[in-house]
Amino acid sequence: MKWTIDEIRPKSRELIRQLAHGNWGNDMMVVHDACFDLADFPGFMAKADHRVIGLLIYRIDEHSDAELLSLDSFEENQGVGSALLDRFLNLEGPKRFYLTTTNDNVRALQFYQKRGFSLAAFRQHAVRKARKIKPEIPLTAENGIPIEHELELEWFKEDDG
């Protein structure tokens, strides 16, 4: 399958809302006590045959670090997620790249650690607080693990000099 990765354009915002709603219950991401409307942030979209097969949304925080808010690959084991992540990690400017996932997300933990991310923070019971804002967050994941805690992973860009 041949696919391309492009920056998300303003005209794609409604599509982003629909995809986020379909994957996350709505287009709001609640993480580390903050709420983000995914359609309001930059990112990259992977497409094949006029279909979206992957999506990465990020933000640049107040420290000029890049936070990955959402990474979705709709075509598993095709390299889409890896290609989107590579594009993100090659952004000009940020030296620190980070993301938050939940304790149940074993596949994400494996995916990011294989690509050089390390555990940076553990926020015990953070998902309980998040459910007060976004009650549709399930109590238990499909793998049977209770969803309770946030794990922050980080990756640093090496200096060129």
Residue 13, pLDDT score: 83
If one counts the domains in the chain, the total is 1
Residue 58: CATH number of its domain: 3.40.630.30
User: Six-digit token pair at 132?
Assistant: 């007060």
For the chain, what is the mean pLDDT? 91
Q: How many helices (H) and strands (E) does the chain have?
A: 4, 9
Please report where in the chains the tokens 């050089």 appear, as a residue: 116
User: Taking a C-beta distance cutoff of 8 angstroms, is the pair 104, 146 a contact?
Assistant: yes
pLDDT beyond 60 at 160: no
Band of the pLDDT at 24, cuts 50, 70, 90? low
Tell whether 161 is covered by a domain.
no
Which domain, by its residues, includes 93?
4-156
Residue 39, pLDDT score: 87
| The overall pTM is greater than 0.85 | yes
Q: For 98-142, what is each residue's pLDDT tens digit? A: 999 999 999 999 999 999 999 999 999 999 999 999 898 999 999
Tell whether 129 is covered by a domain.
yes
